[in-house]
Chains A and B, each alone.
Chain A
Amino acid sequence: MMTNAAIALNRFGLGARPSASAPASPTNWLKSQIEKYDPALSASASQPSRASIAASFRDYQLDPKDPQVAGKDAAATMPVDSMTQIDPAKIEKVVNTLRLQYVAAVDSRIDAAITSDTDFAERLVHFWSNHFAVSIDKLPVLALAGDYEFTAIRPNIMRTFSDLLFAAVTHPAMLLYLDQAQSIGPNSPLAAQVAARRNRKLGLNENLAREILELHTLGARTVYDQNDVTEFARALTGFTVGGMAKGPVQRFLAQNGKDGDSQFFAAIHEPGDRNVIGRRYRQQGEAQARAILADIATHPATAKHIATKLAQHFAADVPQSSLVARLEKSFLESGGDLPKLYRTLIDSPEMWLPKQVKFKSPWDWVISSLRALNVRELPNNRQSANMLAQMGQPIWKPGSPAGFSDMTENWAGGAALMRRVEIASRIAERSANRVDARTLAPRILSTQLSAMTAESIARAESPSQGLALLLLSPEFLRR
């Protein structure tokens, strides 16, 4: 049925493109994307290396902005005045460099989303990138957010959840965003050394440990308590970032040749066995956190949490319990095999109901609009990025490790709708001389096109207004 083709294109994918014909077998078309998906981005080849990002960042970092960097050690070698007088022009220059790196990465992301033929897989990239959210309002993340999605998320979405989890939480962007890079085992060799020499206590930061349990895996209020968070935080000590972490760790790691890369630094790892969620972990060093992560990645609470979030993203704000249960079962039985989970989603009847119940996020709406009109912005996608910021969904800036909400209430605001009207008018004006909304509408929306919308487009006062009405129609705002 044509309805299923439209669902495949618009509910699973990023939106129909006029150039592509409707898939003859929607489920096969979607499943084939799992095989065809290419994690590499053509445009990402030009992305800066982590080492060069770290080099930019260190210019900023070595300015004693942070009190720990500017502490006693710095004071011993620097006159007080030079510490408090930081050249603002220099800071601005560094921030501008980091920002340009961010803009280039945003450009690659948008370009891939607009041009992809495996757009169900691209949706999954966006879903997981948001599930394991970092936010560029922390400065180091500004430059690393693109690298994070391109190297930690993209290559792992067709593997196991455990692989994806480990790649995401040990990427430098996440270690820095959730303060893991500075977390130090209070009884680690380095902490003992610092305590002896400088009479200073170094310690844990539980931020990442807590968010992994609460947001990434088990889910809030499930099977863990504060002791598990603290024990897990102890196990995670050691994971840090060369050349970019703050505090004493930074001085030890700045010049070891692994700038900008994650590494396990044994000297800050908290020694001893750990107890997390009823299990004892006797491994030492990096193997300890790896073992804990592998266990929680396949925990039943994680299966339920991931099943619920996936169903909320693709099916409904309050997903059918039958759908969640089926996804949960697939996750548990396969040990978190992600392609199997996606196939279960594709085969679920709840996904193929004709009624549209999800309100598109600004990202989904902008990308589907640009795909429908076959627009690629030249020379870059900066304008699209600005549009997304205006609508409240700036790329890689959810402002919280919880990521952007998948709920209608977050996006269906009056002001947000008004922004869509303004943006649709602008996008439509640029395409009106080459696209006819009357022929485009049925190609994009197929049988989802209502008589009301078709009539409204047919009666538009201009080609541009017709296109705007298409992009603003109820059936295009939802999927």
Chain B
Amino acid sequence: MLNRRYFVTSGVLGLGVAAFPGVGWAAPGTDKKFVFIIQRGAADGLATLAPTGDPDFLRARGDLAADAAAGLQLDTMFTLHPAMGESAKLFALKQASFSHALASGYRERSHFDAQNILESGGERPYGRDDGWLGRLLTLLPREGAKGLAVAPAVPLALRGPIAANSYAPSRMQDANSDLMARLTNLYAEDAQLSALWSGAQAAEAMAGPPADQALRGGKALGQMTAGLMNGPNGARVVMLEANGWDTHFQQKGRLNAALGQLDALVGSLRDTLASEWSNTLVMVATEFGRTVAFNGTGGTDHGTASAAMLFGGSLTNGGKIVADWPGLKASQLYEGRDLKPTTRFEQFASDALARHFSLDPVRTKGVLFPDFA
């Protein structure tokens, strides 16, 4: 049992062109939407999607594994964290799928380098100044190439040849509408500022009244983001940032809160996007995972492989967990301490996106992750 290789293949991973028979690549769907949620700080995939079917997991994590077992059992091997009730419901409806033991090509344990790679889609830190979401925009038809980051400025992942917009809710008092109109005039002859200004005003208008902008938790963020995606002028490729995953210390409570917010965010995207949910793919990923063993302060330290998630109303292979499970015996760990990566994030992401947007998978991978392809 301990050496069992847990391997459910859905055809999404690793099969390339053969997995996409008969799809016409020439006309990618224009009504498709994509949301990427980056978990900054290294989320613990072993707590999020606990391998409760692996006895070594119980041995390595002791009491904390028992907590995991109280979660939402998805199959004989994996149990979803108890804070993720909405995600479990989506999984049951085949509107969620998970990948485990996954990582980018980065094998050190620095947040900033790893996030830089996760965002740029490059093979080494600071090797690129554009990102894979930004390059995704170049594969979409012009009217669908609307990128938006919920952040003050556009993060690396969404930078590229096609300018993306950014929106960040503010606690500051709104500028008055008369000043806004005058600025439209003042910027009229300035190409850069007039483009930014009209984008900013459009995002502001779509985000709705200030009451919705307080961002008290994942639910409000989901509602606001869905508002920014609705309608013909809505954003098609959106990036959200989730923080609070660097759980060196007292992980149980902190992860419970962070996963609860993430779960509420996903649930609220589904509810607010409503009929558009069937055109939407949501991807959740982190820069690396955390140590298999707990440290002396009820937390975990920087590790290697973690889990990633997909959600969407018309997910191919929904309700499945894809993992070439490496095992958790000491000899099976990466450098004796971390879950060993068996799947590349780049493959996972480019396959999911090629499917979602009906793009040629080889070309998609080549554009999104040229160093990997």
Q: Chain A residues in contact with chain B, CB under 8 A?
A: 63-67, 70-71, 74-75, 83-84, 86, 88, 207, 214-215, 220-221, 359, 390-392, 399-402, 407-419, 421-426, 452-453, 456, 460-461, 465, 468-469, 472-474, 477
Contact = CB atoms under 8 A, between A and B. Distances in A.
Interface in B128-168: 129, 149, 151-154, 159, 163, 165-168
A86 B179 CA distance: 52
**Looking at chain B, what size class is its interface with the partner chain?**
35 or more
B200 A422 contact: no
B166 A414 contact: yes
A479 to B, nearest CB: 14
Given A417-B193, A453-B186, A473-B186, A392 B153 contact: yes
Interface in B172-210: 172-176, 178-180, 182-183, 185-187, 189-190, 192-193, 196-197, 199-201, 203-204
Nearest to B180: A421
B182 A391 contact: no
B144 to A, nearest CB: 19
30 contacts: A64-B296, A67-B301, A84-B298, A86-B250, A214-B126, A390-B152, A390-B172, A392-B152, A400-B112, A401-B112, A412-B196, A413-B149, A413-B165, A413-B196, A417-B197, A418-B167, A418-B200, A421-B175, A421-B180, A422-B170, A422-B172, A422-B173, A425-B179, A426-B172, A452-B186, A452-B189, A456-B182, A456-B186, A465-B182, A468-B175
A56 to B, nearest CB: 18
A402 B129 CA distance: 12
A456 B249 CA distance: 55
Given A421-B179, A465-B178, A65 B248 contact: yes
A164 B45 CA distance: 42
Nearest to A425: B175
Interface of B: 110, 112, 116, 126-127, 129, 149, 151-154, 159, 163, 165-168, 170-176, 178-180, 182-183, 185-187, 189-190, 192-193, 196-197, 199-201, 203-204, 248-250, 295-299, 301
Contacts of A407: 129
Contacts of A421: 175, 179-180, 183
Nearest to B110: A207
Contacts of A66: 248, 295
Q: Which 7 A-B pairs give the minimum distances between C-beta atoms?
A: A70-B296, A414-B200, A392-B152, A413-B153, A67-B295, A413-B166, A400-B112
B292 to A, nearest CB: 13
Residue with the highest number of chain A CB atoms closer than 10 Å, among B116, B154, B172, B296: B296
A74 B200 CA distance: 54
A63 B299 CA distance: 13
A417 B200 contact: yes
B314 to A, nearest CB: 30
A270 B291 CA distance: 28
Nearest to A473: B186
A421 B249 CA distance: 40
Contacts of B110: 207
